[in-house]
Structure 1
Amino acid sequence: MWTKIFAAGLLAVLVAGQTPLCAAETYSGTEPLTMDGDIAAQMVAGIDRFLLDEIDASVAARNDKWRWDFSSPEKHEQAIAENRARLAQLLGVRETREPFDAPSLLATAETSALVAQGDDFDVYAVRWPVLKGINGEGLLLVPTKGKVVADVVAIPDADQTPEQIAGLAAGVPAESQFARRLAESGCRVIIPTLVSREMSKRNGRANLSNREYVYRSSFVQGRHVIGFEIQKILACVDWFAKPSGNDVPIGAIGYGEGGMLALYSAALDPRIDRVCVSGYFAPREAVWQEPIARNVFGRLERYGDAELVSMIWPRKCVIERAAHPAVTLPGEGGAPGQISTPTDEAVSAELARVAKSDHLVVGPTSGDAASRPFGQMLAAFLPKEATLASGDGNVDVLQIIDAAARQTRQMTEMDDYDQGLLAVNEFVRKDFMKGLNTSSVEAYEASAEKYREIFYNDVIGRFDRPLLPFNAQSRKSWDNEKWVGYEVKLDVFPNVFAYGVLLLPKDLKPGEQRPVVVCQHGLEGRPTDCFDSSHKAYNNFASDLCEQGYIVFAPQNPYIGKDDFRTLQRKSNALGKTLFSTIVPQHQQIVNWLKTQPCVDPERIAFYGLSYGGKSAMRIPALVTDYCLSICSGDFNDWVLKTASSRHKFSYVWTGEYEIYEFDLGSTFNYAEMAALICPRPFMVERGHFDGCGEDEFIGWEFGKVIFLYQGKLHLTDRTEIEHFIGGHEIHSQGTFAFLSKHLDSTPKE
């Protein structure tokens, strides 16, 4: 019957002297597509240029986020309060710290807490409570002669131990043992242990640094290895700030990662009277190249290093232009990253942006930065009544601390804390979503808009710029017995375009409107995977749907090219954005264009994706409301558990997808909450029992919340389904095709 209808339509068109709908080499209303080569790679490269331009523009744009007031310290504190609170949230400095009277001395029946003695100070092994289950651990250096002139938190680089900067172990030149030199100068000094950059294969899979390992579970739950370490530093400040008969200035000083932590800590806490940053201060526009454990979501929106220094005013801030740690981390399942010493010109340019600099002491200012030893600015850091010791004193080591065991304890405590958050955040999300009004479908849709805005602006990240004109280009590249395929390219943003394949049934009649199914490939995929038999997992679902009478569009999403696309996430994160900050506008443009096509029913455009395409099925239709339904295949999960768990084999903690992490989903949007943004539109999950992306019980737990929302609260008994089938990570095409038929009413319109 359909063949007869098409033949009759074709005859009518030929009689009228017109071109048949599927016969032209260029799709109607478009210009010829002339791009050659790997268009997917060109798409990724274009997005990369767009993001780099956005990063460059962020420097000037930061000015709009601040209202500096240096007329008095009090007004300055008021002016920066909102940005300080925001910074604390982004760094994961959220919980109230555990109170304590003083650090505990680590001694046993056989060993003393006294581990070393200098000429003028004693060294103790100590521990102090920070958060529930997390303790700081390190060394306490107490002067034995004269009055204490200052209390100082001395923070080593991540690849240094407390013993090294205290002169108890080899590895740091004597003049750079800043904790020892400060203790010799009359300071009481506490040195926290940092999580190191030591590399290790995790669960026999990804080779991750210790810092990235902690970062992964923390980041997705709104916490951070940086935040945990800041909390350890500020817990020391809590102790120092307790009223006593010998109140002295409180300082923070650090090198490398320690310099970073000192800078953040002083920006957050005005009780720190003075700070010294060595081997860290620089422009941060290339933060995406640094180790991923330095990735702070939205860092460049408001906070360059210059802004952090400006927050410290009028307290003393010493910037030592010393050589930065030389670090190169391989991309062996973890994120590649490097740290190198910036040029004097780059540092000077960042210093020039400091909003008010009369509290700054900077030096040295000449010569090759890489040749300068740390420690030249210690005298400037000390209170004016103190004198810097010569640094040639002796230290007698009484016992050796097991630094490896201490490092393991630090990591284990942070990991246990993150795993505990998985259960707690379930209730945090429920409280977060309590504003949804389920008294009626209409009331629900209205109340969901607020959450959609939060999801887009704060979680996914929105580029606040208009879409470009389509400038649609196409070429016919496939001509099958039952369908014809056109490559289509659409402009989105400067340097950003959308690309995909439009499949049209050959029995499509002029003037007829049909539903569209957007078929989305997965990780490292291409549109052709969905229809040319090249990838078994997709089961040719796009061409099968086309042969059933649907129009199909198979977009090229930019998660292709390994590190080429994964660094897009790093660049996006620096701006408070994600990969989907670009992908969502691409899909909005695709849908906008499809709705203008005379053969498309604009009310019946559906989304169906596998794997990373299933990940897309959770996020894109939640924001692109023109999609009338969504099908998530091979991805639906307790997503926060999947990305944060260090207990389950299916967790992303063990894999090479370092870009998969999205900030603070733990307390905002797990998959049930994303599905709530798709509701009341139809939503379906396709699940193979043996799909290694997860396990049935966890997927069932999360989907149970979706069923309760649709059916229990809103009485939408036929709009959400899950199909389980005997199979793996693949398109099954059974229940999902029936779901599409039911909700798209695929009978062709006259």
Structure 2
Amino acid sequence: MRAKFRRYAALALWAILAQQAIAADRLPGTQPLTMQGDVAAQMVAGVDQFLLSEIAAARSNRGAHWQWDFSSPEKHKQAIAANRTRLAHLLGVREERIPFDAPHLLATIDAPALVAHGDGFDVYAVRWPVLPNLHGEGLLLQPSKGKIVADVVAVPDADQTPEQIAGLADGLPPESQFARRLAESGCRVIIPTLVSRQLAKRNGRANLSNREFVYRTSFVQGRHVIGFEIQKILACVDWFAKSGDVDIGVIGYGEGGMLALYSAALDDRIGRVCVSGYVAPRETIWQEPISRNVFGRLQRYGDAELLSMIWPRTCVVERSAHPAVTLPGEGGAPAQITTPTDEAVAAELARVANADHLIVDPAKGDPQTRTCGRMLAEFLPVGATLKADSTGKIAVLQTLDFAARQQRQMQEIDDYDQQLLAVNDKVRAEFLKGLDTSSVDAYERSVAKYRDIFYDDVIGRFDRPLLPFNAQSRKSWETDKWIGYEVKLDVFPGVFAYGVLMLPKDLRPEERRPVVVCQHGLEGRPTDLFDGTKSAYNNFAADLCERGYIVFAPQNLYIGQDDFRTLQRKSNALGKTLFSTIVPQHQQIVNWLKEQPGVDPERIAFYGLSYGGKSAMRIPALVTDYCLSICSGDFNDWVLKTASSRHKFSYVWTGEYEIYEFDLGGTFNYAEMAALICPRPFMVERGHFDGCGDDEFIAWEYAKVRNLYQARLHLTDRTEIEFFIGGHEIHSQGTFAFLGKHLSWPK
């Protein structure tokens, strides 16, 4: 009786405080919210500063991931083995390459393979197998006399052709034609073609570089344009290792320098490497072309760590001017490449764990005018001599079709990615085979480890505690049915959660009502859900509140165009995503809601449209305090939607360059995300004419969800899909009934 009396006394006190707070224009237990201006923009700016501080901290924290041992080459190899395996995985270097005896000569009756004669070498058009139906293609510079002194893969920048660095085409000064100079000095040289940075309208929509286009179809499937090109280089190394007993080297400039560095870090058979126009601090990698975006790069791998992995093999670092690149961001990711200062490069080189294998350009002169080629003599093996630069003309016998070769290279990678789409279902089924569906209890135990994998490896988890709420509020809206309060909560340093709490006016002190967290879409705001200005939302937050639900409408981060999209770029560098911040924001929101009088902590639901529907797949999968989730206008065969170059609804053609999440293809499509929500209720709301996808693909993916809930776990009433005649909008029919059934409201 005393406990019951204390409870009623507390409720009565809350009622008094609530009336006082209404008069004072704020909620009980909160401080006044005084923030003015665009709160959403301030939220994005705060997260931006938080991420920049995390990037700065990653540099000093990187050493915790390494246990260097330079006492012998074998012990060094063992010490870096785990990080080497991880790096290959992140770069998408996963499949076994196809062995071959020699590159194929590319010839027809009208166009023989012999392309040119140089000073002591012949040039052939060649092609070599790498992966099923995927080939490298470029030039082979074969010495025509004397002994081969070294086998070399020479890699141009992405905006250079093999012909330019071989001296067959205009565009580079003689000192920068490093493939030609190595061939003149007795090296056998093979030059792969890289995917270029040429811009083009894709399907009449986003203006993307060739490299970004390939990046998009690859990244979500755990592959990468970088990884495919590394595989082409290593396939040449396979051939060299099989066919000769001379040193194997890789040399590259710009994008080619990047590939040379990665390749040598991964493969000990590369006895010497030259990196030109690339080495720099990578803390601003989010400003570079998105095709350089390697998930989690800055957690473990600065350029210094990659250089340390090459020890004790010879590594030449030439501090030449980097390619000058600016990408405009006309639907693609805006980016630039500039030449770092000598001081910045020196600082990065100073971090190399053991630098006695490095030969570094002394960096004399203007870094903007230095050109690659100065360090070629250092790159050659002992006993070999760099021939004095000649001006002798190369006899060009035929001119190859550069554009057609570029298109073939792009098309093969795209075809490979589209083939991956066809088998990813089986890969994910194998990945999730540890789920135990013998009972609901067994399932909940077995799904926990997959939830951790999803959080740690896909979404990315910030391993830091949530701050105290420091809750602030102010009354900002009132109708005859409800009162709306802006609420701000601290999350991480500089990071806060913000939203609108809508309280029905008929809420009695002794009641515990369900809460529906209503989530806006791309570029949205909480007000869109209740002020009647955006028809797609059908005023559903206000409607729910008028039906007696407590409603919370959070502001999510996806607002401000490039301002928020660069948050994804910064997050990716740390092995994180936008949702690495959004999930803790929602956890803090739920934690705070559960402490509010009038809230039933066991009945807090999530309902979102569009990007809010995307949130409905990811947030409740990780914030298990959400008792159910409704995904509206987003549920899809998500991997297909983000990686397909065959469907009009694909994100490949659009400006949402931040939408890509690494390696979902082999881990968590939407059915697998729903499996993390299961056994909690889950619903899909789908308009037949919603352009986010086609009915058949939504139904295909949802059928797996229904099979899990109903056929395997016998939860026959916990999942539904509603198709309605309409578009990209809240329908409010089946979903409201679903909420009523599972939240037991109205009573």
User: TM-score normalised by the shorter chain: which range applies?
Assistant: over 0.9
Ranges in structure 1 where 5+ consecutive residues have no aligned partner: 1-8
Per-residue deviation, 1:17: 9.3
Provide the rounded CA distance (Å) in 2 between the counterparts of 1:517 and 1:20.
26
Deviations 1:164-192 (A, max 9, x none): 00000000111110000000000000000
SS in structure 1 opposite 2:242?
A: coil
Q: 1:561 corresponds to which residue?
A: 560
Letter in 1 for 2:112: S
Partner of 2:594: 595
Corresponding position of 1:377: 375
Do residues 693 (structure 1) and 692 (structure 2) align?
Answer: yes
1:99 aligns with 2:99: yes
Mapping of residues 282-293 of structure 1, within 5 Å: 282-293=280-291
Matched, 1:345 2:335: no
Instruction: Summarize the alignment of residues 425-464 of structure 1 with structure 2, pairs less than 5 Å apart.
Output: 425-464=424-463
Deviation at 1:18, TM superposition (A): 7.5
- CA–CA distance in 2 between the matches of 1:98 and 1:299? 28
CA distance in 2, matches of 1:367, 1:613: 54
Is the aligned partner of 1:532 residue 2:566? no
Deviation at 1:13, TM superposition (A): 8.4
Q: In 1, Cα distance between the equivalents of 2:15 and 2:268?
A: 83
Q: Is 1:711 aligned to 2:710, yes or no?
A: yes
Structure-1 residue corresponding to 2:6: none
What is the one-letter code of the residue matched to 1:460?
I
Maintained 8 Å contact 1:14/1:20: no
* CA positional deviation for 1:106: 0.7
Instruction: Name the residue aligned to 1:227.
Output: 227
Asked if structure 1 preserves the Cα contact closer than 8 Å seen for 2:273 and 2:379, the reply is yes
SS of the residue corresponding to residue 422 of structure 1 reads: helix
452-461 vs 110-119, which moves further: 110-119
| CA positional deviation for 1:376 | 0.5
Is residue 273 from structure 1 mapped to residue 274 from structure 2 by the alignment?
no
The 3-state SS of whatever aligns with 2:680 is coil
Shift of 1:424: 1.1
**One-letter amino acid of the structure 1 residue matched with residue 485 of structure 2:** Y
Q: What's the counterpart of residue 248 of structure 2?
A: 250
**2:315 corresponds to which of 314, 317, 326:** 317
Equivalent residue number for residue 75 of structure 1: 75
Q: Secondary structure at the match of 1:270?
A: coil
**Aligned residue number for residue 90 of structure 1:** 90
- The question of whether the paired residues in 1 share the 8 Å contact of 2:469 and 2:592 is answered with yes
Q: Which residue matches 1:644?
A: 643
For 1:262, give the aligned amino acid.
A
> What CA distance in whole angstroms lies between the structure 2 residues aligned with 1:415 and 1:150?
34
Paired letter, 2:373: G
Question: What is the SS of the residue equivalent to 2:64?
Answer: helix
Task: Indicate the residue corresponding to 1:329 in structure 2.
Answer: 327
Q: 1:18 to 1:723 in 2, by over 3 A?
A: closer
- The equivalent residue for 2:512 is 513
Distance 1:298 1:93 in 2: 15
8 Å CA contact 2:15, 2:509 repeated in 1: no
* Greater mean deviation of Cα atoms: 366-375 or 13-22: 13-22
Compute the displacement of 1:366 (Å). 2.5
Per-residue CA deviations over 1:45-71 (Å, capped at 9, x if unaligned) read 000000000000000111000000000
Match of 1:161 in 2: 161
Q: How far does residue 371 in structure 1 lie from its aligned partner after superposition?
A: 1.3
Cross-structure match for 2:118: 118
Q: Which residue does 2:352 correspond to in 1?
A: 354
Tell me what 2:628 maps to: 629
The Cα shift of 1:598 comes to 1.5
What TM-score, normalized to structure 2? 0.98
Which range is displaced more, 35-44 or 367-376?
Answer: 367-376
Paired position in structure 2 for 1:476: 475
8 Å contact 2:14–2:597 — kept in the other structure?
no
Kindly provide the amino acid, as one letter, of the partner of residue 540 in structure 2. F
The answer to whether the 8 Å contact 2:483/2:505 transfers is: yes
Q: 2:278 corresponds to which letter in structure 1?
A: Y
1:374 is displaced (CA, Å) by: 1.1
What are the superposed Cα offsets for residues 70-99 of structure 1, whole Å, 9 maximum, x if unpaired? 000000000000000000000000000011
Structure-1 separation of matches of 2:145 and 2:605: 77
Checking the alignment, whether the CA contact within 8 Å between 1:251 and 1:273 is kept in structure 2 is yes
Which letter maps to 1:251?
G
Partner of 1:299: 297
Q: 1:484, 1:505 within 8 Å by CA — same for their partners in 2?
A: yes
| Kept after mapping to 2: 8 A contact 1:279/1:322 | yes
Q: Which amino acid aligns with 1:561?
A: G
Q: Give the aligned length.
A: 737
Q: In 2, are the aligned partners of 1:219 and 1:663 still within 8 Å (CA)?
A: yes
Superposed counterparts of 1:647-658, under 5 Å: 647-658=646-657
Structure 2 counterpart of 1:6: none
Residue type matched to 1:215 in 2? Y
Unmatched 5+ stretches in structure 2: 1-8
CA separation in 2, counterparts of 1:158 and 1:314?
Answer: 29
Q: Distance in 1 between matches of 2:18 and 2:569?
A: 50
CA contact (8 A) 2:196 2:211 kept: yes
> How many Å separate the matches in 2 of 1:19 and 1:481?
16
Q: How big is the shift at 1:21?
A: 6.8
AA in 2 matched with 1:43: M
Cα shift at 1:14: 12
Alpha-carbon shift at residue 107 of structure 1 (Å): 1.0
Q: CA deviation at 1:15?
A: 11
Shift of residue 364, structure 1, vs aligned partner: 2.9
Contact 2:290 2:333 in 1 (8 A): yes
Q: CA deviation at 1:604?
A: 0.2
- Residue pair 1:361, 1:380 contacting (<8 A) in 2 also: yes
The Cα shift of 1:571 comes to 0.2
Q: Does the CA-based 8 Å contact 1:22-1:504 persist in structure 2? A: no
Aligned partner of 1:543 in structure 2 is 542
**CA-CA distance at 1:146 after TM superposition:** 1.3
Deviations 1:464-489 (A, max 9, x none): 00000000000000011100000000
Specify the code of the residue in structure 1 equivalent to 2:30.
Answer: T
Residue 4 of structure 2 is matched in structure 1 by none
Aligned pair 1:421/2:417, yes or no?
Answer: no
| Distance apart, 1:508 and its partner CA | 0.6
Q: Per the alignment, do residues 430 and 317 of structure 1 end up closer, same or farther by CA in structure 2, a change over 3 Å counting?
A: same
Q: State the distance in 2 between where 1:356 and 1:695 align.
A: 55
1:495 aligned residue = 494
- Classify the secondary structure of the residue corresponding to 2:223: coil
Q: Which residue of 2 aligns with 1:606?
A: 605
Give the structure 2 partner of residue 128 of structure 1: 128
Partners of 1:517 and 1:423 in 2: CA distance:
37
SS of residue paired to 2:19: coil
Q: Secondary structure at the match of 2:368?
A: helix
Q: Deviations over 1:611-660 (max 9, x none)?
A: 00000000000000000000000000000000000000000000000000
Pairing 1:238–2:238 present: yes
Post-superposition Cα deviations, 1:581-603, rounded to whole Å, max 9, x if no partner, equal: 00000000000000001110000
Query: Residues 177-235 of structure 1, C-alpha deviation per residue, up to 9 Å, x if partnerless?
Result: 00000000000000000000000000000000000000001000000000000000000
Q: Which 10-residue stretch deviates more, 739-748 or 426-435?
A: 739-748
- SS of the aligned residue for 1:59 comes to helix
Q: How does the TM-score come out when normalised to structure 1?
A: 0.97
Shift of 1:368: 2.0
Q: Distance in 2 between matches of 1:119 and 1:323?
A: 28
Check if 1:46 corresponds to 2:46: yes
Task: Tell me if structure 1 keeps the 8 A contact 2:14–2:509.
Answer: no
